[in-house]
């Protein structure tokens, strides 16, 4: 879609270039920005000139994903034998309603910052204890779990002028055994519920509900829970919502079923 109100474009090369004038918006892949009218937007500031490495393997372990990393780049990361959780990358990308063309443009950071309930990269980050590194306009930065950054369907804690720099996935989560389930009312429809589960090397377990609840739901256990405990916690989670792609009761019910499937899969493993 043409953004006919845009009269300016800047390619950011330094952190100072990210200071926004009135009407300017940050641009990365732009797949959402160009999908509908943006009458309040008069200028674009392009992050791709910052030259951030898409994927980094820090010395302390884990994975650092630049906000400008494309979905295609994330999926193409060579398989790391020490990371049993890596298949979640492609599973969560496939949970998005997007073609391979979009994969080559859409960014991890853009998907997180839009913060839609069905955001596949939010599902990935929440499943693996992802932490957002955020740059403030005053030159400082802070870190916040993505599960806390996203506050609702399309809302988050980012303040005006703040920029997501990267999402960091810790080593312990990448070494976990994982399970994944997705359901939608239509074969090629937007996700109605995305469930993930993992068991860490120390035996602790984490289950996450996204797409079915407006904000991510994270359930933590010292060990893999029993069926009754998990069902009780999933059914009792807040935030199930109704929209044209599913009712809140349907989302709650299928989430409990999918969580139990994951629990059984992890128990068998």
163 with 181, same domain: the answer is no
Strands (E), the chain: 8-11, 24-27, 43-46, 55-56, 63-66, 131-135, 141-145, 150-152, 155-156, 163-169, 177-183, 193-199, 205-210, 217-221
Residue range of the domain that includes 137: 54-172
Tell me the per-residue pLDDT of 142-196, one tens digit each, with 9 for 90 and over: 999 999 999 999 999 999 999 999 999 999 999 999 999 999 998 777 899 999 9
What is the average pLDDT across 91-96? 93
165 with 186, same domain: the answer is no
pLDDT value of position 1? 59
Please indicate, yes or no, if residue 28 is contained in any of the structural domains: yes
- Residue 70, pLDDT above cutoff 80: yes
* Of the residues 127, 156, 172, the one at which a domain ends: 172
- Residue 48, pLDDT above cutoff 70: yes
Please indicate, yes or no, if residue 97 is contained in any of the structural domains: yes
70 with 20, same domain: the answer is no
- Residue 37, pLDDT above cutoff 90: no
65 with 78, same domain: the answer is yes
Tokens 């919502």 — which residue?
A: 241
159 with 213, same domain: the answer is no
| HEC assignment per residue over 156-175 | ECCCCCCEEEEEEECHHHHC
- Residue 17, pLDDT above cutoff 70: yes
Sheet containing 193-199: order of strands: 177-183, 193-199, 205-210, 217-221
161 with 208, same domain: the answer is no
136 with 202, same domain: the answer is no
Please indicate, yes or no, if residue 2 is contained in any of the structural domains: no
Please indicate, yes or no, if residue 117 is contained in any of the structural domains: yes
61 with 41, same domain: the answer is no
The rounded distance, in Å, linking the Cα atoms of 255 and 194 is: 8
pLDDT value of position 100? 73
What is the CATH number for 156?
A: 3.30.465.10
C-alpha distances out from residue 203 to 72, 81, 92, 131, 152, Å? 32, 20, 23, 21, 30
- Residue 125, pLDDT above cutoff 70: yes
For residue 99, with 0-12 CB atoms within 10 Å meaning exposed, 13-18 middle and 19 or more buried, which class applies? Answer: exposed
User: Considering the chain, what is the average pLDDT of its residues?
Assistant: 94
pTM here is 0.95
Give percent of the chain above pLDDT 90.
85
163 with 185, same domain: the answer is no
84 with 160, same domain: the answer is yes
Based on the structure, what is the number of domains in the chain?
3
Residue environment code for 173-194, b if the CB has 16+ CB neighbours within 10 A, otherwise e: bbbbbbbbbbbbeeeeebbbbb
138 with 209, same domain: the answer is no
Angle formed by the axes of helices 120-127 and 87-94, nearest 10° = 150
Please indicate, yes or no, if residue 128 is contained in any of the structural domains: yes
15 with 99, same domain: the answer is no
What is the CATH number for 231?
A: 3.30.390.50
Tell me the per-residue pLDDT of 191-223, one tens digit each, with 9 for 90 and over: 999 999 999 999 999 999 999 999 999 999 999
């Amino acid at each position: 879609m043409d953004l006919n109100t845009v009269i300016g474009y800047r390619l950011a090369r330094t952190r100072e270039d990210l200071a926004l004038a009135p009407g300017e918006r940050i641009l990365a892949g732009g797949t959402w920005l160009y999908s509908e009218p943006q009458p309040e937007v008069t200028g674009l500031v392009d992050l791709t000139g910052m030259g951030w490495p898409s994927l980094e393997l820090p010395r302390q372990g884990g994975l650092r994903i630049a906000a400008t990393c494309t979905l295609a780049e994330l999926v193409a990361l060579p398989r790391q034998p020490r990371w049993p959780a890596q298949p979640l990358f492609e599973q969560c990308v496939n949970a998005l309603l997007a073609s391979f063309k979009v994969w080559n443009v859409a960014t991890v950071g853009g998907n997180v910052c839009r913060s839609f309930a069905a955001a596949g990269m939010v599902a990935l980050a929440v499943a693996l204890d992802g932490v957002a590194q955020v740059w403030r306009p005053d030159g400082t930065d802070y870190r916040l779990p993505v599960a806390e950054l996203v506050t609702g369907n399309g809302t988050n804690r980012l303040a005006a002028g703040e920029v997501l720099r990267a999402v960091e996935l810790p080593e312990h989560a990448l070494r976990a055994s994982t399970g994944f389930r997705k359901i939608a009312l239509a074969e090629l429809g937007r996700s109605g519920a995305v469930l993930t589960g993992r068991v860490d090397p120390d035996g602790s377990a984490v289950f996450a509900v996204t797409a079915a609840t407006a904000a991510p739901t994270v359930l933590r256990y010292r060990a893999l829970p029993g069926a009754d405990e998990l069902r009780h916690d999933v059914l009792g989670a807040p935030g199930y919502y109704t929209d044209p792609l599913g009712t809140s009761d349907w989302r709650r019910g299928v989430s409990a079923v999918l969580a139990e499937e994951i629990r059984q899969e992890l128990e068998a493993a």
